[in-house]
Every structure is written in structure tokens, then in C-alpha cells.
Amino acid sequence: MAAPDLGRIVADIYAELAPRIGEGEVADYIPELAQVNPRQFGIAVITPEGEVVTAGDADRPFSIQSISKVFLLTLALGRIGESLWTRVGREPSGSAFNSIVQLEQEAGRPRNPFINAGAIVVTDVAMAGHSPREAIGEILTFMRYLADDEDILIDQAVAASELATGARNQALGWFMRSFDRLDHDVDKVLGVYFHHCAIAMSCRQLARAGLFLAAGGRDPVRGHAVVRPARARRINALMLTCGLYDASGDFAYRVGLPGKSGVGGGILAVAPGRAAICVWSPGLDGFGNSRLGGQALEALARRTGWSVF
């Protein structure tokens, strides 16, 4: 198959969806995110050859929220390897990202690393040997390294907003604590968790940061190995099965690529061997996933023929 004309395809998709910018509801359970203008939409596609194609608000930083969980998982696997799976499962939950129901039924072991409970455990693992401040610094350094861009910050207002209103995550943390599932103080783990969710990045930066997942675990631009190829495949497998929560099956059907969403309205998607893609539009669907972002990825997969199937 001839290489798709990415510039043309991305421009077309942006133009087709532009009349719908503003659809969906911004996340309002985090007050600071409720302030975000929903009329924003960006797309960035980066290939292993280093071609970058963008449209719309691709350079505007937004709250990456749960997309951070992919990078925390990468760090935690680097820390303790496959023994991570004694702490958290690898099955889709079929429940909302912040659900507590299965935790009681499954002895406090979260179903997967991308639901909130699972990401809190992964954060606990990544904190080993670090103060909370050091752990946050390490995560930020990792994001800057992967994005090859020092200009990445934590939005402190978003972190504080989530801390102030994070009763549900506190409940998940304390509930897991009751099963002795956390090594660190619940408040410290949640502090680190809220801060990595509050990292602000643009579509361009996130697509660049995720490029190693599309390139067999290597940063193809600098020629550095980030993880081994098998680990990149496995992270992609988890993104495919669990990355969009209880809409993961529908996303696999419509888009056919591993993805990870966040309630800031971003979705990072991976077309192995082809590209890393980040789309962003703050209006969400009922599952907490970007409405326009999902549409854009569906159109991109259709137009390029990219699919893991």
C-alpha cells in the first residue's frame, strides 16, 4: 500500500469535524477542568521517520489526566518488571474508570493499570525509594525526555483542584489500604497521582512522547531504546483492551488501535510501525472519553487503513 498522504488526511479530518467543535461535556467533577473552553480541537500525528503533521490546537497544552497512566505503567514496569502483575490485573473492567465495586469483590486488587484504582497502585510502585516530591520530579523528567521537550509543566491549579475534590479517589485509596495493597501512605500516593494527572502537554508533545510505543520500544528519532519490543507490545495490548475503560471494546471496533484517553479530552493512540497520534477536544462522552477525539481517530484509521487487526 502506498504511504498515506498524512498532511491531506489530517487537514481533511479537521475540516470535516470543525463544525462539531464544542460537542460533548467538559469534565466538571474536577472544578478546574470545568473552566476549560470546550471549543478547542487539535490533532498531531508523528511517524517513526520523524514526519509530524498537525491541525488545529495541536500546540496548546491541556491536562493529560489519565493519559499519564501509560507512562506511569512504563516507569513501574521498569522498576519491578512483570512482578507488577501481582499488584494489579490485566483485564478490562467493564466498569467506569472510577468504580469501586470490583475492588471489594476482588480483594482490593484492581482489574487493570488504567482504571483509577489500578493507576493508584502503579503510582505506589513507581514511588518506591522516593519522596513524593522526588517521584513527581522523576515522572516529569521522564515525560520531558520522551517528548524531547523541556517545556512541560504540572498545572498546579488542576492538581490542587483534584486534591480538594478527590473524595472518590481517596475512597479508592483507603479501600485498597484496608486490603494492605499500598506500600506508602494513602495521602502521599494520591498526591503523586493527582500531580501526574495534572501534567499539561500539547497533542504534539504527547504524540512525540508516545512514539516509542509505535516504534518497537525505541525512540526512532534519537535512536534510544526506551523499553524492549515485547514490553512495548504489551503496553499496547493493555491500551487496546483497557485504555478507554468501559468503552474499550467500542473503540477497538471503531478505531482498531491501542488508545488511552483522559478526562482533559485527550486521546493518545498508537499505530504500531506507522505513527503515534494524539487528538484533543475537551467535550467528553458519557464514558469520560473525548467525543470529537474518538471521531477523529475513527476517521484517521479509516482513511489511512491503519489497524492492529
Binding-site sequence positions for substrate: 66, 116, 162, 169, 193, 245, 263
52-60, 221-229, 260-268, 301-309 -> range binding ligand DON (CB under 6 A):
260-268
Least distance from ligand DON to the Cβ atom of residue 262, Å: 4
Give the DSSP H/E element, type plus range, for residue 58: none
167-178 and 116-126 helices, crossing angle to 10°? 70
Quick one: cell of 59? Answer: 500546540
Residues between 13 and 72 that touch ligand DON (CB under 6 A): 65-66
Is 260 in the active site? no
Looking at the Cβ atoms of 10 and 244, the one nearer to ligand DON is 244
Reported in sequence order, the residue ranges of the chain that DSSP labels E, i.e. its strands, are 42-46, 52-56, 62-63, 153-154, 199-201, 218-219, 224-225, 259-261, 266-271, 275-280
> Rounded distance, CA 263 to CA 277, Å?
17
Residue 263 within binding range of ligand DON, rule CB under 6 A: yes
Which entry of 255, 263, 270, 279 is annotated as an active-site residue?
263
Least distance from ligand DON to the Cβ atom of residue 19, Å: 25
280: number of CA atoms within 13 Å, CB side?
31
Residue 169 within binding range of ligand DON, rule CB under 6 A: yes
Which entry of 63, 66, 93, 202 is annotated as an active-site residue?
66
14 close to 41: Cβ distance less than 8 angstroms:
yes
Which entry of 69, 248, 279, 290 is annotated as an active-site residue?
69
Looking at the Cβ atoms of 177 and 303, the one nearer to ligand DON is 177
Number of Cβ atoms within 10 Å of the Cβ of 232: 22
Is 245 in the active site? yes
CA 177 to chain centroid:
25
Is 29 in the active site? no
- CA distances for 200 relative to 46, 61, 144, angstroms: 19, 5, 11
**Per-position x/- string for 191-210, each x denoting binding to ligand DON as judged by CB under 6 A, each - no binding:** ------x-------------
Question: Where along the sequence are the contacts to ligand DON (CB under 6 A)?
Answer: 65-66, 97-98, 116, 162, 169, 197, 261-263, 288-289
